[in-house]
Amino acid sequence: MNTRGSKMSEWVWTKVKTGGFFSGVKVGIEIKFIRPITNGEAQSMTMYRDDDGKIIGKLEYEISGVDSKITVFSIQDWSSPRFAERLVKEFMTILKDKKVKVVKVEIYDTDNRTHDKLTLFRNMGFSIESGGNVTGYNQYHLIKQL
């Protein structure tokens, strides 16, 4: 059941296939309005496990006109990269519904999951450029045209 609209909070329930043909984990994605911004809004998406309510991951983003920027992308459960992939796919669906044309992400090499994040975004069609070293951390600029 996918329900989308301009409410303050909404839920999307789906199943993430984590292994074999019949395996899967039921998850809920809560999409919330955070605040208005110039020509748009900031929203968050939080993915929860249905069985125990644990947070799997979070994505925060801003939409301004036809541009979008992911401001927070954190995954707590990397037991299957498909959790992160599902969260980003749901995000991309929202952007297409809102007629967004460009998505940007900045990733800083601050933990041992940077490679997983870069691989995920590369596999989803983002181009990756090195942004140099910022405050002691390697920075990457990712962009995708929709």
Q: Sign of dihedral through CA atoms 48, 27, 61, 123?
A: positive
For the entire predicted model, the pTM comes to 0.87
Q: Sign of dihedral through CA atoms 94, 34, 87, 51?
A: negative
Amino acid identity of residue 113, one-letter, is R
Domain coverage including residue 23 = 9-145
Residue 4, in any domain of the structure: no
Residue 2, in any domain of the structure: no
Residue 30, in any domain of the structure: yes
Q: Which residues are within 8 A (CB) of 6 and not within 5 positions of it... i.e. 6 or more apart?
A: none
For residue 70, give both structure tokens: 């992911």
pLDDT tens, residue by residue, 86-138: 999 999 999 999 999 999 999 988 888 999 999 999 999 999 988 888 778 88
The domain that holds 102 is classified in CATH as: 3.40.630.30
